[in-house]
Amino acid sequence: MQSLDLEVLESARRWIGEGHRVWLVTVTQTFGASPRPPGSLMVMRDDGVIAGSVSGGCIEDDLVARRDAFAGPIPALESYGVDAEQARRFGLPCGGQLQVLVESALDGTRFDALFAKISAGEVFARVVDLRDGSWSYRPAGPGDETAIGEKDFSCIHGPRWRMLIIGASEIARYLAEMAKTLDFQVFVCDPREEYRSAWRVEGIAFLDGMPDDAVTAFRPDPHTVIVAVSHDPKLDDMALIEALKTDAYYVGAVGSQKTSDERRRRLREVPEFELGERDVARLHGPVGLAIGSRTPPEIAVAILAELIALRNRRVLCAAESPAHAARAA
């Protein structure tokens, strides 16, 4: 994940600047249930301090204890959880296995270059030559996966998902801040100047124009999420009409159950919208999971919880709207 990668790499850069030796550990592949996905990063310092993680803790302890065994430019591959005894020892779920790549002899210039590319929002592969430890880079798409072969290891870095938020509301503020930590590259569109001028989330790009034009220019793909939170039906509908015609992975809008039902009816019944029943059925609304959310940060958590569940192919119950939750309390 982009923000977590940056935190790990920033620690490595700082430690090297302070004169420490640093090891980089990357999860290369997993089998069964594993605590961390491929591409997860951890750095170890020569005094045993770590940043990031590759498991629930026991694997980190083992790597730190044996850090001096990893030396030289040739990367080392270590496997964990290959049998029941190892799974119990290292705290892996039943049947879980993972493999990590341990790199030593890395200088600050490599971490600086990797940090700069991730900070720029690029999606790319860091290719590690397993024979000599050298790095190279190549462009990657959101659908590319971290993978290891006989001669090299390709680790995908950068945001894997894009999120377009319609409306710079308080919900949007919390949604944008949290989404940045969850592998989303976040954009916001709101033509209302009073909302744009009050926006205070750094690192989020604003898209100019009206919502329908912004959605079209965004070119949604299967790794795109579009969420309308403006609370202005005109703005939300403009975006949804275009979004539901695209390949976007997820299209949703805030609102009560009544508001959502009325929106679906409106989208179906206006011929000029050119939306069929199948298109309208793709709309998520009320958006988010049913966690009793009422406040803007709680609603943002509910939305992101639903997105995480869908990304991980978990089917959970739909959201209750804040109004419905308040009535039920």
| Amino acid (1-letter code) at residue 141 | G
Q: Which residues pair with 260 in a beta bridge?
A: none
Quote the pLDDT of residue 90.
57
Q: Which domains does the chain have, with CATH numbers?
A: 2-157 (no CATH), 161-328 (3.40.50.720)
Does the pTM surpass 0.85? The reply is no
Q: Say if residue 35 is preceded by a cis peptide, omega within 30 of 0.
A: no
- Average pLDDT of each block of 10 consecutive residues along the chain (329 residues)? 80 96 96 80 96 85 93 93 60 70 94 92 92 95 88 90 94 94 90 90 89 95 94 93 94 93 89 85 91 92 94 63 37
Quote the pLDDT of residue 36.
81
Torsion of CA 253, 175, 188, 326, to 10 degrees: 40
Burial of 221 per CB tally in 10 Å (0-12, 13-18, 19+): middle
Q: What is the DSSP-derived secondary structure letter of residue 164?
A: E
Quote the pLDDT of residue 89.
59
Cα 48 from chain centre: 29
Closest CA to 282 of 243, 317, 237, 315: 243
Quote the pLDDT of residue 33.
64
Closest CA to 92 of 44, 42, 41, 57: 57
Quote the pLDDT of residue 326.
35
Quick check: 296 and 173 in contact, CB under 8 A?
A: yes
